[in-house]
């Protein structure tokens, strides 16, 4: 007898955009956070702010994306 996956299929279609956006955000933000940390470790100085503060802003947004994703996962999975 075949497994009925109609309810799971509907659920995963609704979750698809959020899940993919979260994965892409994590994959982009991780190296952006790692670059200044590596620079700080090897040179003793952080990254310069960049033109108009763009590098610093990108780093700050990456930290926020990582923290929000971690907090969301903690809240989601600590319920059970």
First-to-last alpha carbon distance for the chain, in angstroms, is 31
**Per-residue model confidence (pLDDT) at position 48:** 85
pTM of the predicted protein model: 0.64
Whether 56 contacts 49, CB under 8 Å? yes
Q: In terms of C-beta density within 10 A (0-12 exposed, 13-18 middle, 19 or more buried), how is residue 25 classed? A: middle
Per-domain boundaries in the chain:
19-78
**Radius of gyration for the alpha carbons in the chain, expressed in angstroms and rounded:** 19
The model's pLDDT over 9-56, given as tens digits with 9 standing for 90+, comes to 555 566 667 778 888 888 888 898 999 899 899 998 888 888 988 888
**Per-residue model confidence (pLDDT) at position 42:** 93
Upper half-sphere CA count for residue 13 (Cβ side, 13 Å): 6
């Amino acid at each position: 007898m075949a497994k009925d996956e109609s309810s799971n299929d509907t659920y995963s279609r609704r979750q698809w955009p959020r899940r993919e956006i979260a994965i892409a955000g994590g994959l982009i933000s991780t190296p952006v956070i790692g670059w200044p940390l590596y620079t700080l470790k090897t040179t003793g100085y952080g990254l310069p702010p960049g033109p108009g503060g763009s590098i610093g802003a990108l780093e700050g947004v990456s930290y926020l994306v990582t923290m929000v994703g971690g907090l969301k996962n903690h809240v989601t999975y600590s319920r059970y």
